[in-house]
């Protein structure tokens, strides 16, 4: 959510998130349970859609999204194919 507590027009609705969430690979298991993901996957996806919708650079993501490096890592992981 933005600093004012309102979302962005590019944010996923609850219905859209349910559809997208099914397409994401499950979080990788960690040894002995490991730590939980630091940033909610939905916020990461909202950030990716923000970049796609606005055309801003990764480094220009508003600060209320996860760090741009994290968002870009998820984006690049999802757009590459295994050999």
> Per residue in 23-78, pLDDT tens?
887 777 767 766 677 899 999 999 999 999 999 999 999 999 999 999 999 899 87
What is the gyration radius of the CA atoms in the chain, in angstroms? 14
In the chain, DSSP assigns E strands to: none
Q: What is the pLDDT of residue 70?
A: 94
CA distances from 78 to 6, 23, 57, 64, 71 (A): 27, 10, 18, 22, 11
Q: What is the pLDDT of residue 16?
A: 95
Closest CA to 42 of 27, 60, 57, 59: 27
Q: In this structure, what token pair is assigned to residue 39?
A: 């940033």
pTM for the predicted model, two decimal places: 0.79
């Amino acid at each position: 959510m933005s600093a004012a507590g309102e979302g962005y027009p590019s944010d996923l609705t609850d219905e859209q998130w349910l559809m997208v969430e099914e397409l994401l690979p499950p979080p990788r298991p960690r040894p002995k349970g490991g730590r939980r993901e630091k940033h909610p996957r939905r916020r990461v996806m909202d950030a990716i859609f923000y970049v796609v919708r606005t055309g801003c650079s990764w480094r220009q993501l508003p600060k209320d999204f996860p760090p741009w490096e994290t968002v870009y890592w998820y984006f690049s992981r999802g757009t590459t194919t295994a050999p």
